[in-house]
Structure 1
C-alpha cells in the first residue's frame, strides 16, 4: 500500500478502473468483490460512465464492504438531455448538485476521493475549488483531486487548491509526465493515479497499431522490448509495463480497466511482485521508444 499524496488514503498498487462493467449484475459484482478480496482496495468510477449506472453498480456491489475500500468518482461532464453525448460543465452549481446524486448512486454517506473529470485553463478555477472545499467541509467527500493530462491546468490546481491527487495518462509510450510533471507533483505531495499504463493493450500483446505519435512498427518494437524484459525477469508483460510506471515515486496506484475474470486474475497476480524495474532494464525500455513531449497546454 502507498499513501495517496498528502491524504490519509492508503491505496493498493493496482486499482480497479470501473469504466465498462457491463450489464450482468452477477458478473460485475463477482469481479468487484473478488478484487477486494485479493487486496485491491481502490475503485475508480465517474458519473459520466454509462450515464451514472457504473456508480450504481459499484455502490451496490461494494456496499457490504464499504468501510474496507476506497471509492473514487469524478464530476464535470454533463450528459445532454437527448443522450447524444456530453458537454463540459465544471460550474460550482453543477458540482454542488451532482455530488449528492453520486452519493445516492454509490449508496454511501461519503466519497473518499472526488475528482474533477478534466479541465481547461479557461475554467472558473476559483469557483471549482470553492465547490470542492465546501463539500469537503460538509463531509460529503474526504479528499479531492483532478483527472487531467494538461500541465498548465495541473499546475494551477497545485498552486491554488488542496488537491491530493492527479489522475493522468502515463506509460512507456506516453512518458510525457516524466518531463517535469511527476517530479513537481512529488515535490508538492500530490499522488499520481496512473491510467493508460498498458497503452490500450499494445504493450502487453495486442496486435501492433499506431498509437499517439508512434507508427505500428515503433509500437511493435517497444512491445518486443517489454516481452524481452518480462522473460529476463520471469514476469508477465503486464507486470513489466506496470513496473515501469511504478518506478517513479510520485505514482501511488495504476488504474486498470477490468472487464473479465481473466483480466482481473492477471491484475491480481501483479500484486505479488510490485518491485520497480532494475535501472538497467528500465533504461532499456525507455530507449526502445522515441522521446515524446507535451506540445500544447504548457
Structure 2
C-alpha cells in the first residue's frame, strides 16, 4: 500500500481509503472486514453521522475499540435527522456542529476525530460560523483536522479563502473530470488534500452495463469503459485502472472506495499495490471523451 500526506496536514493516509457507507448491520461481519482492511494496509476509514442514522459510526467504533491509535477515522456533519426519522435537514450552524460532534465521538468510542468534514455546503450557508465551530473543536482537541465534502466550486473557493481546511472530498473519475478544470489545481496550490469518491462511476468503468452518465450518452460511456479495459489489458482489472486514473492527479491524496464485501476489499487492496498509470496511458484515456465541466455553482 502506498501512503500520502493529506495535503499539508499531519495525517498520513493510505491512498486507498475505506468508504464505510456500504457496510451492513452485522457488527461482527463488519469488524472482520475492517480488520482485514487494516491488516492489508488501509489506515483511513470514512463514515458519517448521516449513514444509517448513526449506526455506521457505531459499527466503526465497535470494530476499532482498543486499537484507536492504529487507524485514521474521518466522519461528517451537517445533515440533521428529524425527530420522527422521516428525513434530514441541512444544518451547518455552529451550535448544531458542536452538539453533533459529541454524538459522533460517543458512537465512534473515541475522544477525538482525525478528520471532521462538513457533509455538503451551499454558498448561502453561514460559512464563517461553520468555520468557527471547526476551529473551536480543533482547539479543544476533539478533532485533529477538518474539511468539506463538496462538488461545488463556488463553495470550495470560499473555504479555501476563509478557512484552514485540510481536505476536500469530491467526486472524480474518468467519467467525471469536472474537477480537472480548476478545482484540483487550486487545491494542490494551497496544500489541500483531495479525497476522491466515485472512481468507478457507479461501476460503469468496471464492467457494469453502459447507461447515460453526467451528460455522456450510453455509447460514450461504453467507449470510456472499453478504453479502460484496453489500458488494463490482461494483467490488471479494469477497476484498478479506473481508480489509478483518479489517483494520477497530484492533488489527490486518496481514492475513497465503498467496500462491503471481501471481494471488493481484495480489489481495493490489489489496486493499492498496483503501479501508477504512465503518462501515455493517462493521455490515452483522456483522449477518448471531451472532459465534462461544472455547469452550476461555478
Cα offsets for 1:142-184 (capped at 9, x unmatched): 0000000000000000010000100000000000110011011
Structure 1 segments (4+ residues) deviating >2 Å: none
43-52 vs 207-216, greater mean Cα deviation? 207-216
CA distance in 1, matches of 2:170, 2:15: 15
1:64 is matched with which residue? 66
How many angstroms does 1:293 deviate by? 0.7
Query: Which segments of 5 or more consecutive residues in structure 2 lack a partner in the other structure?
Result: none
How many angstroms does 1:243 deviate by? 1.1
1:254 is matched with which residue? 255
1:136 is matched with which residue? 138
1:174 is matched with which residue? 176
1:147-226 superposed matches below 5 A: 147-226=149-228
Report the secondary structure of 2:30's partner residue: helix
How many angstroms does 1:276 deviate by? 2.6
Q: How many residues align?
A: 296
How many angstroms does 1:245 deviate by? 1.2
Report the secondary structure of 1:243's partner residue: helix
How many angstroms does 1:200 deviate by? 0.8
How many angstroms does 1:98 deviate by? 0.5
13-22 vs 283-292, greater mean Cα deviation? 283-292
CA distance in 2, matches of 1:261, 1:39: 15
Cα offsets for 1:91-138 (capped at 9, x unmatched): 110000000100000000100000000000000001000000001100
1:277 is matched with which residue? 277
Cα offsets for 1:227-263 (capped at 9, x unmatched): 010007x221111011111110000000000011111
CA distance in 1, matches of 2:257, 2:162: 30
Query: Which segments of 5 or more consecutive residues in structure 1 lack a partner in the other structure?
Result: none
CA distance in 1, matches of 2:27, 2:71: 20
Cα offsets for 1:11-56 (capped at 9, x unmatched): 1010000102111222111111100010000000000000000000
Report the secondary structure of 1:71's partner residue: strand
How does the TM-score come out when normalised to structure 2? 0.98
How does the TM-score come out when normalised to structure 1? 0.98
CA distance in 2, matches of 1:54, 1:112: 17
Q: In 1, are the aligned partners of 2:62 and 2:108 still within 8 Å (CA)?
A: yes
Q: In 1, are the aligned partners of 2:80 and 2:91 still within 8 Å (CA)?
A: yes
Q: CA RMSD in A?
A: 0.9
Report the secondary structure of 1:293's partner residue: coil
CA distance in 1, matches of 2:267, 2:293: 31
2:95 is matched with which residue? 93
| Equivalent in 33, 36, 46 of residue 34 of structure 1 | 36
How many angstroms does 1:291 deviate by? 2.3
CA distance in 1, matches of 2:39, 2:52: 25
Q: Is 2:18 the partner of 1:12? A: no
